[in-house]
Chain A
Amino acid sequence: MDQPPIISRSRLEINFLRLLNVTQQMANGDKPKDWTFEKWMESRSLVILYGSETGTAQEVAARIGREARRYFFMPIVSAMNDFSLDNLLKQTLVVFVASTTGQGDDPSNMRSFFKMMWSQRKNKHILFNLHFAVLGLGDSSYQKFNYAAKRLNNLLTLLGGRSLIKLGLGDDQHDLGPDFVINTWLKELWNKLMDLYPLPEGCKPMDSSVIMPPKYKAVFLNNIESISNGTCVEMSKSVSDRPINIDNAHLAEVTMNTRVTADDHFQEVRLIEFDMTHSEERHKPGDVLMIQPQNLDEHVEEFLQVLELDPQQVFYLDVNDPNVSLPSLSLLPRPCTVRECVKNYLDIQAMPQRYFFELLSYFTKDETEREKFLEISSSEGQQALYDYCNRPKRSILEVLADFPHTRQNIPFEYIFDLVPSIRARPYSIASSSLALPKKAQILVAVVNYNTVLKRARLGLCTNWLARQRVGNSVPVWIKPGTLTFPDLSNEAIPPVVMIGPGTGCAPFRSYLQERVAAGLSKGVVMVFGCRSSTKDYFFKDEWEALVNKQELELYCAFSRDQEEKVYVQHIMKDNAPYFWKLIGEQKALVYFAGNAKRVPIDVHEALTYICEVGRGKGSQDAEEYMSKNLTKRYQTETWA
């Protein structure tokens, strides 16, 4: 392969440095000195708006911003809600990244933006000046796949905007995850943009041999006394009314952590209780407890060794890329030690993506390793990426350990580009704050399975939680879930039918406890399923006691207690006339919580069958009844 002539490569680098210089100056609020370059860049501003619930879409938006610079676009990245209509109408080029959350809903930082655009829907030319493109992030195991992005895309067209390229539909269900669609979609986008906004003569997009500067700059402190810039922030012990996220977290002490499945049962499920004295609000049934986990100690040690990092080194981060914000102080205090950063912030157990390997290719001096990185990150190397990472669920830590000539050459700052941050996990609260004040219990199924790798795959949060001893403190915060239960103050509550196999019963136990504590337990019907009445029937004693006192109607399916498999849907079908009485005649509210994939479909089918039996007018009629009548009263919460 010919080496590019030395002259043009250095010209590219000069341009890149100019760009970086201008960007940095702007970030510092200085007026850039070079007016022509600046004016030209202004004409090439690319606004990237995101709607992100857990931060994924936000990261993708930041990535698009970084790539945009290679094509000499000036990126401005912002949440949709933070961008006014006036501002939008001034734009000629906007890229949207929208996740879908909950039950086909818009993420919270996009809702008011969408409402505002929706209110303009009679004005079919308001966006006539706008070229746009939409990238959606979703999961096709849900019926309402990428609905947020689809609605947005169509609305923008309705309002007169011109779409640059077809809507991209990132899918968690793809073997290679959403990255598969994102990579192709971005290629198309840059091609189209180079057509519409070509570069001047002699100027080409920045070569991929030029590495992008890292998101953050690290400032190392050699002397603890010389801390003048950052302040050590302690995790706050109280909650104020700020947005519901990690910044709102408080420490909750573990008051109980017991295994609730039989010791000889293959799955370890634990009931964990937290002291919620520091939470100002009382949680409601259906609410979710967000837990911010940390890495297991042995993984932290391994990472420090593999990268030969000094665990005691103190540092803090500054922003390099003005479109990226600093990590939350609750997660990464300023300053902190390297060990704290690895333990609390870096998700070293995450699976690496394509970009990870592309970045590594810059850091290695070993030709074999470099070739491998380029192979895996190429568009032809998707099979290799899948075989090496996705299928065996290999972690970043394991990959780094496999490349001895690279891992010790990684500049510290780039670690934050290679390794994502640890995300909080939601758990349905399984106890009622009325029945058990100042406490919250959750039901946790510990994730532990094997792939071809010799080391077992351990779920980060579940295993970390399993190890927490009574007395330890865990960062948590309460968030509303997707299930809404009827208000207890309402006199005439219809019967409530709750179908919760396995750990799906968690929110229902919370609601049941609340009803019992309020003395209103009549009319609650629970359908539970598990494998064996002796091995994983979590709340057996509690519920059977209630049944004896006639405070609960309970139906249980123990799938492996007899030769043929009995599941919740079988129990429901076997009692179809009774369930019809509740659902059809008494207009019961129906709930389902549990694992996604097969079970929600089976339950839906059982409900349809019940309607057919009850109405006696055939399956077509039953389906119509389901979609017209029951959907309004049927809520589901499913998780992968």
Chain B
Amino acid sequence: MFGINSGQNVLLLWSNPVNTEELQTFVGDIKSAVGDDGRVSVENSEMLLSSSHQASCFDHVLAGVLPPFTYLCPVDTLGEALRVLKPSGRLTTRTVDATTTQSNLKMAGFTSVSEPKNANLTDEQKKDLTLPVNEVTCHKPSFEVGSSVQLSFAKAPAAQSSNGTWNIDLDDDLELENPDDLLTEEDLTRPDPSSLKVCGTTGQRKACKNCVCGLKEELESEDVQKAEENRKNFKSSCGSCYLGDAFRCASCPYLGMPAFKPGEKVKLVDSTLQDTT
């Protein structure tokens, strides 16, 4: 379907209004098409710009391929779709307004924007439609700003005598006036800010080694209600609290305080929990 192959990375963009059941079935279909080695990401078109996906990671983007086909992706969203597509990656969209869609795609930077084709809709999908729906496909250009390019001035060493000191090479095919001329396209780029984050920093929920307060089990079963309860009835008997932040669990009321000295009476400054030390 849509020319999707196994092992590919597909991004599905949907917009309101949408039939959630239909969306789920559709996602299931794509998942089977890409198989275990592939991946399907589902995103609301309006959220794409703020999601900061990595550049050049998707093989195929499907935009607005579910009824009612009336949503027109704005150029900046299409530009973002272009960015997250791999070079030569493909985008497919279905729309009631093919002319505007084609023009938007071209403005966003897509190449090989196809002529509107008949979208092979099922009878279910054709229900309630008043205008004809067309399918348009296009590609991301195959070159990429910032991709690695063999340095044109990296030459294989010639078989020369070992004191290659003052040989002036006369075939100067590279004009270098300024040290900054040494920099390639890739050198001028900066890293993607999302690549600078340590993964999973949002979850600070860790149980300590000898957890008796139930956080360990709760994390394993991800029970939110239980978590709240445990937090309310906190009684430390795991014995890890006095060791310092490196050993404390995520629900420890002593987080942020230094390790206790032996025999120290510790007051919890602003808490309604029982002080058990």
Contacts and interface: CB of A to CB of B under 8 A. Distances in A.
A151 B176 CA distance: 12
B46 to A, nearest CB: 24
B169 A122 contact: yes
A160 B180 contact: no
A453 B168 CA distance: 62
Given A140-B191, A171-B196, A452-B256, A122 B182 contact: no
B256 A160 contact: no
B183 A173 contact: no
Given A128-B157, A143-B190, A398-B258, A175 B169 contact: no
Contact of B168 (A123, A129, A162, A402): A123
Contacts of A368: 243, 247
Nearest to A125: B164
A122 B168 contact: yes
Contacts of A124: 153, 155, 169
Interface stretch (B51-59, B91-99, B106-114, B197-205): B197-205
Interface in A367-399: 368, 372, 376, 382-383, 386-388, 390-392, 394, 398
Given A391-B201, A402-B259, A403-B259, A155 B158 contact: no
B253 to A, nearest CB: 11
A378 to B, nearest CB: 14
B160 A125 contact: yes
Interface in B137-171: 151, 153-155, 157-158, 160, 162, 164-169
A122 B172 contact: yes
Given A157-B153, A162-B157, A175-B196, A89 B247 contact: no
B229 interface: no
Contacts of A171: 191, 196
A151 B179 contact: yes
A170 to B, nearest CB: 11
A169 interface: yes
A304 to B, nearest CB: 16
Interface residues of A, number: 49
Interface string A154-175: 1101101010000001010111
Contact of A150 (B158, B167, B187, B201): B187
B47 interface: no
Contacts of A622: none
B80 interface: no
Interface in B223-244: 243-244
B257 interface: yes
Contacts of B121: none
Given A114-B179, A140-B190, A453-B256, A376 B196 contact: no
A392 B257 CA distance: 12
A319 to B, nearest CB: 33
A383 B198 contact: yes
A454 B257 contact: yes
Contacts of B168: 122-123
Contacts of B187: 147, 150, 154
Contacts of A150: 182-183, 187
A126 interface: yes
Of A140, A391, A401, most buried by chain B (CB within 10 Å of CB) is: A140
A633 interface: no
Contacts of A401: 244, 258-259
B255 interface: yes
Contacts of B162: 129
A469 interface: no
Given A123-B168, A155-B182, A368-B247, A145 B190 contact: yes
Contacts of A565: none
Interface in A155-208: 155, 157-158, 160, 162, 169, 171, 173-176
Interface of B: 151, 153-155, 157-158, 160, 162, 164-169, 172, 174, 176, 179-180, 182-184, 187, 190-191, 193, 196-201, 204, 206, 243-247, 255-259, 261, 269
Given A401-B258, A402-B245, 7 more contacts: A89-B165, A128-B164, A145-B191, A154-B183, A175-B198, A383-B198, A388-B246
Interface of A: 89, 114, 118, 121-126, 128-129, 140, 143, 145, 147, 150-151, 154-155, 157-158, 160, 162, 169, 171, 173-176, 368, 372, 376, 382-383, 386-388, 390-392, 394, 398, 401-404, 452-454
Sorted from nearest, which 4 A-B pairs have the closest CB atoms?
A: A402-B244, A128-B157, A154-B182, A175-B198
24 contacts: A89-B165, A122-B172, A123-B166, A123-B169, A125-B158, A128-B157, A128-B164, A143-B190, A150-B183, A151-B182, A154-B187, A158-B174, A158-B182, A160-B164, A171-B191, A174-B196, A175-B196, A175-B198, A372-B246, A383-B198, A387-B201, A388-B245, A391-B201, A452-B256
